[in-house]
Every structure is written in C-alpha cells, then in structure tokens.
Chain A
Amino acid sequence: DTAVSQTPKYLVTQMGNDKSIKCEQNLGHDTMYWYKQDSKKFLKIMFSYNNKELIINETVPNRFSPKSPDKAHLNLHINSLELGDSAVYFCASSLPGLARSQYFGPGTRLLVL
C-alpha cells in the first residue's frame, strides 16, 4: 500500500495554464507538506498544513494555492504557470507538532513549455 501518493506523476503544460497536483496519505498523519525540488536537487518547503489548517507558508508566489479538504489530502493548485515553475513537487506527511521525520510521496514532475 502506498503511504503517500501523488497524481499525476508527470505533468507537461503550456505557460499560462492552470494545473493541480493531488496528494493523499494513508498514514493517519495530521501534518502534510509541499516541497519544490529544482534542477539542482535543492528541496525547499512551500507549505505545511496541520489538520487542514495552514501553518507554514514560505515565500511562494500567490499563484500557488494549497487546499486541504481533509487531513489525508493536500492538493496544490497553480495558476498562470511560468517557465520557472518547472520542477519536481513533493508532497510529504508527518506526525503533528515539532518537525520530525517526514514521509515523502514519489513526486510530480512538472514541465512548463
């Protein structure tokens, strides 16, 4: 059984489009995250939700909007995609509270043309 799953795995789209990435975890965790990994493999946190409440919002353009319908899901919607948005986006989850070991999904490879 997949602990943290993301869809789609690959996403190729044109500049200016709007797209969404979905994430689901079946670990019973309360906290979920979105990370962006650039071409140099640098991982940077974007957002974190705890039990559907936004607790971390790093310096991310407001074209990116996370949505958590329930504590098992954290989706990422991106408006007006730009070339620089091309990256691998990882969802992760963990137990709540202070940061601790996080379980990552397989990633969504986004390519903006």
Chain B
Amino acid sequence: GESVGLHLPTLSVQEGDNSIINCAYSNSASDYFIWYKQESGKGPQFIIDIRSNMDKRQGQRVTVLLNKTVKHLSLQIAATQPGDSAVYFCAERGYTGRRALTFGSGTRLQVQP
C-alpha cells in the first residue's frame, strides 16, 4: 500500500548546527505535505506545509524542500536549539478520498548542548 517513511530514526546534532530530516513517500498522487513536531508527552504540532506545485517553502528557521521526481521531502532547521529536540513526522494527504493524512514513522532529533 501507499506509505510515507523516514530514512533515519534518530538524528543527533550539536546546538547551533543545521539539521536536515528526510522523508520518502510512495504515493505519486500526493499533493500536500506537512511536517509536525512532537515533544515528549505532547501532541503533534504543525510546523510547516507545502503543496506539490512548490519545491521549497520557508518559515521561521525552517525550510521544507520537495523533490517530486524522487518523491522526497526534507525539513531543514537552521541553528538548531535544544528546544528543537523532539520527534518529527512528515505527513501526506492520504488516499481516503484525500480527507485523511498519512503519517510517516517519525525521526527523533536530539540536540546536544
């Protein structure tokens, strides 16, 4: 079936460095993608989204890149801070009449001081 997955389960970076979290998706018909951040003990929190007619979108310290050719999505976090430590999920507009989001398996980002 269709799936959204992440290459690295855990990413460890030094404070101040840039972080890149990757996500591969298999549904070529997906037209909308979202990155979520989930801190320990909390629900997922929206970070940034991108539509399939875009290659790049920037937010505050975050950038999402979309490569439809290879069905790859990435989240770049600039100047990573300890508060960025969390599990990050990518999600795509799902198959169920496009009313649902399909979530990837998550990447844990650990920021070392």
A residues touching B (Cβ–Cβ < 8 Å)?
4, 31, 33, 40-45, 48, 50, 55-56, 58, 90, 92, 97-107
Contacts and interface: CB of A to CB of B under 8 A. Distances in A.
B96 interface: yes
A43 B101 CA distance: 10
Given A99-B94, A106-B42, A43 B49 contact: no
Interface of B: 32, 34, 36, 38, 41-46, 49, 87, 89, 93-94, 96-103, 105-106
A99 B93 contact: yes
Given A98-B93, A99-B93, A100-B32, A43 B99 contact: no
Nearest to B96: A56
B96 A106 contact: no
Given A90-B44, A99-B32, A42 B93 contact: no
B34 A101 contact: yes
Nearest to A40: B105
